[in-house]
Amino acid sequence: MKKIIAAALSAAVAVSALTFVSVSAADYTDVSESDWFFAAVNAATEHSWFAGYEDNSFKPQNSITRAEAAKVLVSYKYGGVLPDAQNAYPDVSGAEWYAPFVNISGAEDIIPSGDEFLPAEPITREDTVVGMLKVLGIAPSDTAEGFADDGEISDYAIGYVKAARKEGVIDGYNDGSFGPARPVTRAEFAQILMNGYSAVSSSPTSSPIPTATPSPSPEATAAASPTATPAPTADPNATPTPSPSPVPITESFKEKSIYIMGDNMLGQNKGWLQPVKDDLAPESMTDKASGTYTFSTVNSNTYANALSSVPEGTDYLIIMGGRYEWENSRPIGDETSVVDSEFTGAFRSFINAAKLRLPDTSLIIVTPPNIANSKTGFTEGGIYNTRGLSIADYAERMRMICEETDTLMIDLNSECWSVSDMRNYLKEENMSMLVMNEDGISRVAELMTEHLIEINKK
């Protein structure tokens, strides 16, 4: 019998303008292991906080715009499940790719701003720190040690800057200054993200990221980075059938190596996943008339790259579904298929890639409760509803594929924990959202299984 665990969705999303995917910092033409920011760039790339460019460069000294920062920080906080937010600024119409993130930032006062957000302007170091600490839930401090240029730091930012230094999120420059008004560079931004996660993480990463060589570094180098998620797609679903008792979590399960991934593989707004969307064009699929998608070499390579961050020796790869990707997923294929939906074909491709890339790893798919509750893709105007695919049809396709591929599928009812619930629980228990020690994994598994209503064991 396979043991079961469900865990949190990745918080990381790539900035839409940065479409190149690299598996490590070493792949970039302008980043070397001797650079002080090597570990941070490695973390940003491998864990998809934000990516590099199509010319295989990272451009570490380039600045980050306020719009890009909003997307990264808001995604860092919420992952793929974004709350609703009204238009907050007159210079953001709502049609821009960054509008949802900017509006959430405005509603929650994440990135400091005036009446206008100024999305194209570079974000300053002090505003970056304020936004980072608000996302992490770290309170400002009036008593922590500051910098030589404290007098130049804005009143709204000084407490956050001091707290950031105390928590190891920043360390300033060699002359003792912070440079609050300077635009933050991509290298500095990556370092702040990595340091921030390390500051709130209660356990080391399951795949350690090497520590950067400390040469003149604007930011302190973190010793470890959380295990975040490159983002595969997997949202199987089945019609719920109540089960009278939860599945027990045995002690032996705690000894297993577990890796958690989000389901962002096909999210339309995930800019770094453009190669995936391109590779799943109709010409890369065959036999659609019979409802069968052939796993092409192109798809194999694409998905294998997306799975490359999973450590060797992983016993269980767990993919937890979320709402955001279903509302924003791009239809794939001929856009008319009902026998086998485009998303179903993509799901099969991902599972096949996982089996090729990780032949000794058990794959577990956890469906999001809001899919079982018909609140997203199957609602009026949804991409599946408009083509006549019912939720029952979809559930049957998922069961069929899981049976074909010997994949365990867990279905959760509408009262099950949402991704937000899970993240809030982990935060309350002072555990990283993405990295948990054995006790944490066991505890979350026990709580989640209280809400399981149907389990198919393969």
| HEC string for the chain | CCCCCCCCCCCCCCCCCCCECCCCHHHCCCCCCCCCCHHHHHHHHHCCCCCECCCCCCCCCCECEHHHHHHHHHHHHHCCCCCCCCCCCCCCCCCCCCHHHHHHHHHHCCCCCCCCCCCCCECEHHHHHHHHHHHHCCCCCCCCCCCCCHHHCCHHHHHHHHHHHHCCCCCCCCCCCCCCCCECEHHHHHHHHHHHHHHHCCCCCCCCCCCCCCCCCCCCCCCCCCCCCCCCCCCCCCCCCCCCCCCCCCHHHHHCCEEEECCCCCECCCHHHHHHHHHCCHHHCCCHHHCCCCCCHHHHHHHHHHCCCCCCCCCEEEEECCCHHHHHECCCCCCCCCCCCHHHHHHHHHHHHHHHHCCCCEEEEECCHHHHCCCCCCCCCCCCHHHCCCHHHHHHHHHHHHHHCCCEEEEECCCCCCHHHHHHHHHHCCCCCCCCCHHHHHHHHHHHHCCEEEEECC
| Cβ burial, residue 150 (10 Å; 0-12/13-18/19+) | middle
* 375 assigned to some structural domain: yes
pTM for the whole structure? 0.45
| For residue 375, pLDDT beyond 50 | no
Torsion angle, alpha carbons of 262, 266, 267, 271, to 10: 110
* 258 confidence band (pLDDT: 50, 70, 90): low
Q: Are 37 and 67 in contact (CB under 8 A)?
A: no
Residue 385 belongs to a domain with what CATH number? 3.40.50
Task: Report how far residue 334's alpha carbon sits from residue 228's, in angstroms, rounded to the nearest whole number.
Answer: 33
Please check whether residues 184 and 259 belong to one and the same domain: no
Tell me what percent of the residues of the chain surpass a pLDDT of 90: 21
* 157 assigned to some structural domain: yes
* 130 confidence band (pLDDT: 50, 70, 90): very high
* 171 assigned to some structural domain: yes
Query: Is the model more confident about 226 or about 75?
Result: 75
* 239 assigned to some structural domain: no
Please check whether residues 274 and 382 belong to one and the same domain: yes
Please check whether residues 417 and 333 belong to one and the same domain: yes
Please check whether residues 273 and 125 belong to one and the same domain: no
Question: What pLDDT does 397 receive?
Answer: 59
Host domain of residue 83: 25-200
CB neighbours of 172 closer than 8 A, spacing ≥ 6? 147, 165, 178, 179, 218
| For residue 138, pLDDT beyond 70 | yes
Question: What pLDDT does 143 receive?
Answer: 86
* 119 assigned to some structural domain: yes
| For residue 453, pLDDT beyond 60 | no
| Cβ burial, residue 207 (10 Å; 0-12/13-18/19+) | middle
Tokens of 390: 């019912």
Query: Is the model more confident about 45 or about 415?
Result: 45
Rg (CA), the chain: 22
Question: What pLDDT does 95 receive?
Answer: 86
Question: What pLDDT does 365 receive?
Answer: 62
What are 300-345's pLDDT values in tens digits? 444 555 566 667 777 766 665 443 333 333 333 333 333 334 445 5
* 245 assigned to some structural domain: no
Q: Are 35 and 212 in contact (CB under 8 A)?
A: yes
* 156 confidence band (pLDDT: 50, 70, 90): very high
What are 418-434's pLDDT values in tens digits? 445 545 554 555 444 33
Please check whether residues 186 and 272 belong to one and the same domain: no
Pick from 130-134, 182-186, 356-360: least confident: 356-360
Domain boundary among the residues 200, 229, 259 is at 200
Query: Is the model more confident about 413 or about 29?
Result: 29
* 435 assigned to some structural domain: yes
What are 344-370's pLDDT values in tens digits? 555 566 666 677 777 777 776 655 433
Please check whether residues 147 and 293 belong to one and the same domain: no
Burial letters 159-177, b for 16+ CB under 10 A, else e: bbbbbbbbbbbbbbbeeee
CB neighbours of 349 closer than 8 A, spacing ≥ 6? 280, 293, 295, 299, 303
Please check whether residues 45 and 158 belong to one and the same domain: yes
Please check whether residues 41 and 175 belong to one and the same domain: yes
Please check whether residues 351 and 448 belong to one and the same domain: yes
Please check whether residues 151 and 283 belong to one and the same domain: no
What are 435-447's pLDDT values in tens digits? 333 444 444 444 4
Write down the mean pLDDT value for the chain.
60
Please check whether residues 265 and 187 belong to one and the same domain: no
Please check whether residues 181 and 283 belong to one and the same domain: no
Domain boundary among the residues 184, 200, 216 is at 200
Q: Are 55 and 48 in contact (CB under 8 A)?
A: no
Partners of residue 320 on adjacent β-strands: 366
Query: What would the mean pLDDT of 165-175 be, rounded to a whole number?
Result: 88
Question: What pLDDT does 384 receive?
Answer: 40
* 255 assigned to some structural domain: yes
Question: What pLDDT does 434 receive?
Answer: 36
Taking the CB of residue 46, how many other CB atoms lie within 10 A of it?
A: 20
CA 175 to chain centroid, in Å, comes to 36
User: How many domains would you assign to the chain?
Assistant: 2
Question: What pLDDT does 450 receive?
Answer: 43
Domain boundary among the residues 138, 165, 200 is at 200
